[in-house]
Amino acid sequence: MRPTVARKQDLRSNLAERFREVRAHSRRLAQPLSDADATAQSMPDASPAKWHLAHTTWFFETMVLKPNAAGYQLFDPTFNFLFNSYYETIGERHPRPMRGLLTRPSLERIMDFRAHVDQAMETLLGADLGPEVAALIELGCHHEQQHQELLLTDILHLFAQNPTRPAYRDPEPVAVAPTPGETGWATFDGGIFEIGHDGSGFAFDCEGPRHQVLLQPFRIADRLVTNGEWISFMADGGYRKPLLWLADGWAQILAHRWEAPLYWEQRDGEWWTMTLRGMQPVDPTAPVAHVSYFEADAFASWAGKRLPTEAEWERASAGLPTAGNFAGSGRLRPKPAGTEGGLKQMFGDVWEWTRSPFTPYPGFRPAEGAVGEYNGKFMCGQFVLRGGSCATPEGHTRATYRNFFQPDKRWQFSGLRLAEDA
């Protein structure tokens, strides 16, 4: 067998294996959920688990099978309207804030939809795929991993609205961790550096092109900000001092009466928080989570520091292994920093807010067709987060990965690391 033929078969086999594992993992995430759990929508920003399971399947059906699998039969023609997310070029869609009204189709029928598409995908994956089709399938796998994380964060938000505070996974005691010492700092020289994806392996379009940036000397904290430090911020009136806050952030304080991170509540004078394992006491040694950009920026001002830029964060993370407390650990909660030296918690635990707006890199061009709507049209009014979280699938993130949310959003596992000028 010629080496080029063998290599093509290996690549096809690896892609098929990845597809099967990603799809199987979504099914595992849905196993603890009833049809009612999977149908309800707790707020417009969140989507029902059933919708996530259907939308990711719609992506493979619409983007991959319809244009590339001869004779493919749609599972249900109405699903294009029900499960399109934001692709204007593909057609009209059910309004996002009303996804929780889709009591039908049932969860069982959604699973039948997934099985129908998976069977057709297996046939396609066994064929001689061209590079463009293979790239679409790989994009679909990473797209589904994004929705796996959203499924978890959206279920957490849904269960937090239930007065019984149900647990997605069985409660598990948190091991006692030593109180972290003073924050350490890693110093980096200024100069011209390259950031962005280098084209080797998968990346979303917004991660490139790789380009040069000019950085001034800076220092970055060796660990994430903890719950204990956040409690000190609260005790010092952090949520009551307008001079710490950006104007839009202070407007959120006044409008929504924020007094603590999302999901925190006091019980007999102690702070508790809702987790995917039910209500748990706030661990003062673990990283703070579920704070908005506005809160992160206010904390940094209170501490006399600032948030890092995304270029600084990427410079600091360069060469570090992409390892940490991801969803694969099963913990499903941020974990206290270890005692090892150097930069800690750069990957996993919580997404780290940066002070950088989500804008295109120099030379960025969205792809042709519907997939060009994936990231490019959201490059306004949002801020970049880096690093991944305890709900991010294993192997999904990398040093160049640019997550992004509007600055008031809190339901993701979002936290912060401090920085300062050197």
pLDDT, one tens digit per residue, over 335-386 is 999 888 899 999 999 999 999 999 999 999 988 777 776 778 899 999 999 9
pLDDT at 1: 40
Q: For position 4, what pLDDT does the model report?
A: 47
Question: Which amino acid is located at 75 in the chain?
Answer: F
Whole-number pLDDT of residue 321: 95
Token pair in block for residue 175: 């091991």
The closest of 99, 132, 118, 111 to 61, measured between CA atoms, is 118
Asked if 205 contacts 236 with a C-beta cutoff of 8 angstroms, the reply is no
Q: What pLDDT is stored for residue 208 in this prediction?
A: 95
pLDDT per residue as tens digits for the range 180-221: 778 999 999 999 999 999 989 999 999 999 999 999 999 999
Q: What is the pLDDT of residues 264-305, one digit of tens each?
A: 999 999 999 999 999 999 999 999 999 999 999 999 999 999
53 vs 38: CA distance, rounded Å: 9
Strands 185-188 and 383-386: what pairing? unpaired
| Amino acid of residue 25 | H
For tokens 């707790």, the residue is 42
Is the confidence at residue 413, as pLDDT, over 90? Answer: yes
Structural domain boundaries in the chain: 3-160, 185-421
Query: Nearest Cα to 280, choosing from 227, 350, 348, 208?
Result: 227
Reported as a pLDDT band with limits 50, 70 and 90, residue 8 is: low
> Is the predicted pLDDT of residue 9 greater than 70, yes or no?
no
**Fold for domain 3-160?**
Four Helix Bundle (Hemerythrin (Met), subunit A) (1.20.120)
Q: What residues form DSSP beta bridges with 119?
A: none
Distances in Å between the alpha carbon of 217 and those of 311, 312, 421?
A: 12, 9, 6
99 near 47, Cβ under 8 Å?
A: yes
Dist. CA 260–CA 239, nearest whole Å: 8
Residues contacting residue 269 through CB under 8 Å, at least 6 positions apart: none
What confidence tier does 13 reach under pLDDT thresholds 50, 70, 90?
Answer: confident
Taking residues 148-165, what's their average pLDDT? 98
Closest CA to 413 of 175, 224, 232: 224
Flag whether pLDDT at 177 surpasses 90: no
Run of H or E including 158 = helix 131-160
CA distance linking residue 400 with residue 412, whole number of Å: 19
Q: Which residues pair with 274 in a beta bridge?
A: 279
pTM of the full structure: 0.95
Nearest to residue 412, comparing CAs of 45, 161, 36? Answer: 45
What is residue 92's three-state secondary structure?
Answer: coil
Q: What is the pLDDT of residues 16-28, one digit of tens each?
A: 999 999 999 999 9
Residue whose structure tokens are 């098929």: 16
* Interval 220-269: pLDDT, tens: 999 999 999 999 999 999 999 999 999 999 999 999 999 999 999 999 99
- Across 139-149, average pLDDT: 97
Taking Cα atoms as reference points, which of 285, 48, 43 lies closest to residue 174?
A: 285
Does the pLDDT of residue 128 top 90, yes or no? no
Mean pLDDT value of segment 165-180: 82
Fold for the domain defined by 185-421: paralog of FGE (formylglycine-generating enzyme) (3.90.1580)
Half-sphere exposure of 328 (CA within 13 A, CB side): 13
Reply yes or no on whether the pLDDT at 2 is more than 50.
no
Q: Which of 88-97, 150-159, 176-185 shows the lowest per-residue confidence on average (mean pLDDT)?
A: 176-185
Instruction: Give the closest residue to 291 by CA, choosing from 328, 238, 235, 344.
Output: 238
Question: What is the rounded distance in angstroms from the CA atom of residue 70 to the CA atom of residue 48?
Answer: 32
Cβ atoms of 412 and 333 closer than 8 Å: no
pLDDT per residue as tens digits for the range 62-92: 999 999 999 999 999 999 999 999 888 888 9
Q: Which of 412, 392, 367 is nearest to 146 (CA)?
A: 392
Euclidean distance between CA atoms 311 and 211, whole angstroms: 11
* Tokens found for residue 406: 């509007």
* Closest listed residue to residue 32, CA positions, set 173, 172, 151, 163: 151
- Residues contacting residue 53 through CB under 8 Å, at least 6 positions apart: 26, 30, 38, 107, 110, 111, 114, 151
